[in-house]
């Protein structure tokens, strides 16, 4: 498993964008709205891809997955 499947990449990016749009709608409705999930349970797809990449290739080679996961968490309402 040296490479990450490309199918999951586009799905995660699409999901991330969708969640980002939904998150901004939720954020505008309340000034200090809190996330509905715990941070450990949010964005399981990007978290899995990020973790697998870091284990296999090291943190420095996985910056795009780390950024994608952070964007997903922000879209869920977390301030990271």
**Distance of CA 52 to CAs 3, 21, 24, Å?**
10, 26, 29
Q: Do 58 and 4 meet the contact criterion of CB atoms below 8 Å apart? A: no
The 10s digit of each residue's pLDDT in 14-35 is: 454 444 444 444 443 444 567 7
Query: Binding site, residues?
Result: 40-41
Q: What is the mean pLDDT of residues 68-75?
A: 97
Q: First CA to last CA across the chain, in angstroms?
A: 30
The 10s digit of each residue's pLDDT in 51-63 is: 999 999 999 999 9
Query: Binding site for Cu cation, residues?
Result: 40-41
The pTM assigned to this predicted structure is: 0.59
Q: Which residue has the tokens 């090291």?
A: 58
């Amino acid at each position: 498993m040296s490479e990450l499947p490309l199918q999951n990449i586009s799905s995660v990016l699409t999901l991330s964008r969708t969640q980002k749009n939904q998150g901004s709608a939720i954020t505008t409705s309340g000034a200090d709205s809190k996330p509905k999930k715990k941070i450990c349970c949010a964005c399981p797809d990007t978290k899995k891809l990020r973790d697998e990449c870091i284990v296999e290739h090291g943190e420095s080679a996985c910056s795009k997955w780390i950024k994608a996961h952070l964007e997903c968490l922000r879209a869920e309402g977390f301030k990271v």
